[in-house]
Chains A and B, each alone.
Chain A
Amino acid sequence: MRARALLFVALVGSALAASCGWEEMADYPCPPQGTTLTYENFGQQFFATWCVTCHGGPNGYSSRSFTDVTNIRAQAADIFRNAARDNTTMPPGPNDPPKDQRYDLGEWLACGAP
């Protein structure tokens, strides 16, 4: 029984290690020249397209609401970890945002989601 428990822990651990390659917002600071991306010209449309179906949409599947920029700023690091640059945990499923939009999201969040 103990061997089985150890095996389970080892399997979960190795699976985690194999899939734990996400990027952190702290590693990708805002460019020195700043960003041209704003909530109005990028963020609002991005979140409306890819996120609010669950995060703040009429279905209310998630308690995290991304329908206003204040909430997004407060959870910027988490959003980055799940959806920005090469992080593809969110949105769920194989239909993902284009890679350039994920990179734009990373830059916009890193610059404070202006």
Chain B
Amino acid sequence: MDSWFPAKLRDANNTHGARFVKLNCSRFSGISLSQGSRASSVTFMRIRLFSFATLLLVLVVLAPATARAGEIQVDVGTTMLGSSWQGDFTGGGLVRLGYRFARVVSIDTVVWEQLGNVDSRFLTGLTIGVTGYIPLKRVRPSLRVFAIHQHEEGAVSVAQTPGGFLFGIGSGIRHRGGGGVTLGAEIPFLHRHGLEWVVLAEVEGIYFPDPLGPTFYLGGIVGVGFNYALPKLP
């Protein structure tokens, strides 16, 4: 057994901090293997690897053919939030793009532009998240968890660098990172030309750990959009 390992590796430091415990020592490791049992163990490992590879192959090759097609989601909406700053409210518009798998889980991004009354500031938010749906017929409750990068800047900064606020370019931009949760519902109301039109109503909470602006935002979103079902997964 010892001849399997170079001399310097033989006396290795284990994860419990007890130095000089031989990792390959049958007395301590409990992995006592004879030549025959070592061979059977290798065979066992090979079988496991082969099984895992076969399973992966089945998932990769067959799953797209049998899975339900996904949907492209496009929504626009308006949002109004209150913040943890006293007397601070923000409002604006948002666009949401997503891809939903089997009507249950979607990966999506939401971009918004809002105006806040304290400091006359603009808020440009970019979120990336995962949304889970309960795929009921009339109303689909949803829960979204997301990460957010938000720019907050005064109107002075926006005016000095017109258009820069969309890309975070400007003299007074505060770059903030945080996370949030959205609880809502998607209500389909029209099916036309392959599109499923929906109304959205959501409650949203956002948390930022930095002191560059309000710590919390809480509010609501209403919107309208459509889902386009793809004939097969891309």
Residue A90 at the chain B interface, CB threshold 8 Å: yes
- Chain B's nearest CB lies how many Å from the CB of A50? 13
* Minimal beta-carbon separation of B162 from chain A (angstroms): 9
Is B144 in the interface zone, CB < 8 Å from A? no
Q: Which of B3-11, B65-73, B208-216 contacts A (4 or more CB under 8 A)?
A: B208-216
Size bracket of the B interface: 20 to 34
Chain B contacts of A45 at CB under 8 A? none
Tell me if B's interface is mostly helix, strand, loop or mixed. mixed
Q: How many inter-chain contacts with C-beta < 8 Å in the A-B complex?
A: 62
Q: Does A35 contact B (CB under 8 A)?
A: no
1/0 per position for A14-50, CB-CB distance to B under 8 A? 0110011010000000000000000000000000000
CB of B132 within 8 A of chain A?
Answer: no
Q: A16-B159, A19-B115 are in contact. Are A11 and B210 (CB under 8 A)?
A: no
What 9 A-B pairs have minimum CB-CB distances, sorted nearest first? A89-B154, A19-B120, A19-B155, A15-B115, A94-B86, A81-B156, A89-B119, A94-B85, A22-B156
Give 14 pairs: A residue, B residue, CB < 8 Å, sorted on A: A15-B115, A20-B156, A22-B155, A61-B210, A61-B212, A78-B171, A87-B156, A89-B119, A89-B155, A90-B154, A93-B85, A94-B85, A94-B87, A94-B118
Q: A4-B76, A12-B113, A90-B172 are in contact. List 10 more A-B contacts (CB 8 A).
A: A16-B158, A54-B211, A82-B154, A82-B172, A89-B121, A89-B154, A89-B155, A90-B119, A92-B213, A94-B86
